[in-house]
Amino acid sequence: MFIFKKLITPFLLPPGIFVVALVWAAVYLRRRSRPGAIICAVLAGSMWVSSTKVFSDALLRPLEYKYSAPAAPAGDVIVVLGGGAYDSDEVYSAGERLSPGSLERVSAAALLYKKTGLPVIFSGGAVFTDITEAAAAGAYLEELGVPAKYIIKETQARDTYENAVFTRRICGERGYQKIILLTSASHMPRSVYLYKKTGFTDIVPFPVSRTAIKGAKRSFRDYLPGNFYSAARALNEYLGLLFYRLAR
């Protein structure tokens, strides 16, 4: 029953249920409209493949493994990029106001601060919320034991390019030259590219939160319909890199 449940559930939830519907439509149309049946079959196959973890891992690995975090990073400051925040008043911890991506980055930054003693710049403004990412992250960093005097909040940036521009301004004012750049592994190639483009010459990439683990043991679930989030996240990074390179 356990295996049956794990096998059947992906086909009862989106996008698996749409795959089933398209397969049924292809069977129904095979004698009524051969082109229609072919289109439904192709859509079903494409939807299945593109929602699997195997597919998203293949897209993410080149991004996530372009840089490796050094064992003993050294620099003048830790720069953390925002990944989203929520407007929420009823929270127990400030971390509840952070998206999963931001939460992972801030948690890693707190640990890195404890190992290095370096100040932390968190860059992130208010994009689709009233609260700035930097304010939410700063509060959570304090909860994790980082003293307020070591937390620098950059509250204007709305995207990665602005992260780089406004962080560059802060670093110039404070005399920081060598930065430890901390963000999600899949986001690191675009971040390094833009930070170099805006004038940073001494960058120590510190990628966190890899999800497409090399050598990870596969299960049958990795080949079943799952979701489009991971594939979309990877494609967003590739498109972002393409956009900024074309915009030079």
SS3 (DSSP) at 85: strand
Q: For domain 64-208, say whether CATH 3.40.50.720 is its number.
A: no
Task: Report the pLDDT value the prediction gives residue 109, as an integer from 0 to 100.
Answer: 98
Picking from 233, 207, 191, 214, the residue whose alpha carbon sits closest to that of residue 59 is 233
What tens digit of pLDDT does each residue of 181-211 get?
A: 999 999 999 999 999 999 999 999 999 999 9
Task: Report the pLDDT value the prediction gives residue 90, as an integer from 0 to 100.
Answer: 85
CA distance 209 to 83: 12
Task: Report the pLDDT value the prediction gives residue 5, as an integer from 0 to 100.
Answer: 82
Task: Report the pLDDT value the prediction gives residue 248, as an integer from 0 to 100.
Answer: 64
Sign, CA dihedral 121-123-111-145, equals positive
Pick out the chain residues at pLDDT < 70.
248
